[in-house]
Amino acid sequence: MSTQAPPAARPVNVTINGQARSASVEPRALLVHYIRESLGLTGTHIGCDTTSCGACTVLVDGVPMKSCTMFAVQVEGKEITTVEGLKGAAGLHPVQEGFHEEHGLQCGFCTPGMMLSSKALLEDNPDPTEEEIRWALSGQICRCTGYTNIVKAVQYAAKKIREGSAA
């Protein structure tokens, strides 16, 4: 057993939801702890903590990833989007509106992760089939089992975004 002192905390600089932020953490600090505890953004949830449920999903440089399965030191200099960053100056993001209009949430615990994956999906594929939506969200668990309405919410958002960009 090593008797050395733990490695010192080091600064981790990110752009989160468009804002430059910095906080010092030990190398073993998980990204989700950095976001929730160091930066105070508690919209990102810890579900299973075992890389199974996807509740902690955030976007790292636009790509959905499990923030419980990355270390904060690994996102130095990267762009992070959390649920707090979805709402724009014009109001709710179409995905948020979709979850609201289609009752895409019951308890709401999985919702931040679901919405971030949905945002990434729609940027990649503006007109997904139901199968493609289910496939894209298949790493995320809704323990209320509200999947039908989650799919409808994403379809609502897709339509809204397509109509918006066509206008």
Partner 1 sequence: MYPASFDYVAPTGLEEAIALLDSHGHDAKVVAGGQSLIPLMKFRFASPAILVDINGIPGLDTLAEGDGGLHIGALVRHKDCERSTLLHGGRWGLLGATARLVADPLIRNRGTVCGSLAHADPQGDWASAMMACRAEVVAQGPAGSRRIPVGELVVGPFETQIEPNEIITECVVPDPGANTGGTYLKLERKIGDYATAAVAVQVSMTNGTIGTAGIALTGVGSRNIQASEAEALLGGKEPSAQLIVEASKLAAAAADPTADNRGSVEYKRSVIRVFTERALTESIRQAKGGAL
Strand intervals (E) in the chain: 10-16, 19-25, 57-60, 63-66, 79-81
User: Dihedral of the CA atoms 117, 51, 36, 55 (nearest 10)?
Assistant: 40
The interface region with partner 1, picked from 51-59, 96-104, 143-151, 158-166 by CB under 8 A, is 51-59
Determine if 145 is a binding residue for partner 1 (CB under 8 A): no
72 within 8 A of 33, measured Cβ to Cβ: yes
CB of 122 to partner 1, least distance (A): 14
132 within 8 A of 124, measured Cβ to Cβ: no
**Which amino acid would we find at residue 94?**
P
Choose between 65 and 153: whose C-beta lies nearer to partner 1.
65
Q: Select from 107, 135, 148, 164 the one that contacts partner 1 (CB under 8 A).
A: 135
Q: Rounded to an integer, what is the distance from CA 39 to the centroid of its chain?
A: 15
Q: Could you say which residues in the range 79-108 bind partner 1, by CB under 8 A?
A: none
Determine if 138 is a binding residue for partner 1 (CB under 8 A): yes
Choose between 32 and 105: whose C-beta lies nearer to partner 1.
32
Which residues lie near partner 1 (CB under 8 A)? 2, 6-7, 26-30, 33, 49-52, 54, 57, 63-66, 69-71, 73-74, 76, 117, 135-140
